[in-house]
């Protein structure tokens, strides 16, 4: 059973309905996650055959990204780095903050690395305790996820959803791709790969650009991120933009390139001081302790107990054993 907000893309609903027995649409858009939580509490109360996996609070989510995504990024960097290159930063927009945990591993391996969390400017929860609806599907839900290791986060970067939305069209329409190759001088093989970024992937890339500008990084500094899904999930969104703004043209492509990519600046971002981090961490109280049943002791442990996160990450080996045992029991992996 999968639960997600009704206003998310049609492609996402189609995809989920293929893998979930039942898909429940809760009211609202991407940032209406409280409504999903309410639904899960209703299911807990009314059915005894459900187990809730809430990505925002399951530590398995962050352990997985620490172990798998973190090491994958480190391996990728080691395989491409040239003489004098360093992994200077990593940026992840936060939905559940699972991918953010890759940064915890990277900071252990590359202690100088700066770790940034991204969100939508239209829902600036981390930047200014703000709220609002936005169009970067998969991130930004008007709360701080329970599994976000805020104390280890160096920077908050907000991305205007108008930038990611319009770049989606630039990167995925014939006119846009032609402009990028012929007028902007982007190699054709790079342009062909741009559809690997969905809307939040584009927002991730924009976070990296903002971080690079903020810290005045050079050609020897590499900033890592992830493509959380691809443009295939958002063809209907591109159609919507065509309907609202008219068919895409070379002029529109030039405008989008200049405004939404080259025009990206170091606004709406904050390098976090100790007190800033604490302010973000403290916001967890209202969602998790007041509403969702977490304890006062544990929220304090997350901040004050220096072993809380490292002990969590060390569970990976035991979890692997359980996963292997489960796979053996079901026999599905062997069949594949």
Ligand X SMILES: Cc1ncc(COP(=O)(O)O)c(C=O)c1O
Q: Which stretch binds ligand X (CB under 6 A): 89-97, 103-111, 212-220, 243-251?
A: 89-97
CA distances to 179, 274, 286, 316 from 279, in Å: 44, 9, 12, 30
Closer residue to ligand X, CB minimum distance, 98 or 124: 98
Closer residue to ligand X, CB minimum distance, 175 or 240: 240
From candidates 5, 89, 98, 176, binder to ligand X by CB under 6 A: 98
* Contact pattern from residue 114 through residue 153 relative to ligand X, giving x for each residue in contact according to CB under 6 A and a dash for the rest: -----------------------xxx--------------
What is the smallest separation between the CB atom of 260 and ligand X, expressed in angstroms?
Answer: 19
From candidates 99, 125, 164, 173, binder to ligand X by CB under 6 A: 99
What is the smallest separation between the CB atom of 329 and ligand X, expressed in angstroms?
Answer: 28
From candidates 9, 32, 67, 94, binder to ligand X by CB under 6 A: 94
Question: Between residue 190 and residue 249, which ones bind ligand X under the rule CB under 6 A?
Answer: 198, 200, 228-229
Q: Does the footprint of ligand X cover residue 70 (CB under 6 A)? A: no
Which residues are at the interface with ligand X (CB under 6 A)? 55, 93-99, 137-139, 198, 200, 228-229
């Amino acid at each position: 059973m999968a639960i997600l907000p009704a206003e998310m893309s049609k492609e996402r609903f189609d995809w989920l309905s293929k893998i979930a027995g039942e898909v429940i649409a809760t009211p609202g858009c991407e940032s209406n996650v409280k409504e999903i939580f309410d639904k899960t509490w209703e299911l807990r109360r009314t059915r005894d055959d459900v187990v809730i996996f809430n990505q925002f609070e399951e530590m398995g989510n962050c352990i997985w990204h620490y172990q798998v995504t973190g090491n994958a990024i480190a391996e990728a960097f080691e395989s491409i780095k040239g003489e004098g290159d360093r992994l200077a930063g990593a940026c992840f927009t936060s939905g559940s903050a699972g991918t953010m945990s890759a940064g915890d591993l990277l900071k252990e391996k590359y202690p100088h690395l700066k770790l940034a969390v991204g969100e939508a400017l239209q829902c600036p929860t981390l930047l200014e305790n703000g709220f609002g609806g936005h169009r970067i599907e998969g991130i930004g839900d008007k709360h701080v996820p329970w599994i976000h290791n805020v104390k280890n986060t160096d920077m908050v970067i907000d991305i205007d959803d108008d930038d990611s939305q319009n770049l989606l069209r630039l990167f995925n329409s014939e006119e846009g791709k032609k402009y990028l190759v012929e007028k902007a001088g982007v190699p054709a093989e790079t342009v062909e790969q741009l559809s690997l970024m969905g809307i939040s992937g584009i927002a991730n890339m924009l976070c990296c650009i903002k971080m690079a500008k903020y810290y005045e990084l050079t050609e020897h500094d590499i900033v890592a991120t992830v493509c959380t899904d691809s443009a295939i999930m958002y063809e209907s969104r591109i159609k919507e933009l065509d309907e609202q703004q008219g068919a895409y043209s070379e002029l529109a492509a030039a405008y989008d390139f200049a405004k939404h990519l080259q025009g990206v600046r170091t606004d709406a971002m904050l390098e976090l001081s100790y007190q800033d981090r604490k302010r973000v961490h403290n916001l967890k109280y209202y969602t998790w302790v007041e509403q969702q049943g977490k304890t006062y002791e544990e929220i304090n442990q997350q901040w004050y107990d220096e072993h809380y996160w490292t002990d969590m990450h060390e569970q990976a080996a035991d979890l692997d054993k359980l996963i292997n045992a489960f796979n053996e029991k079901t026999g599905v992996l062997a069949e594949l």
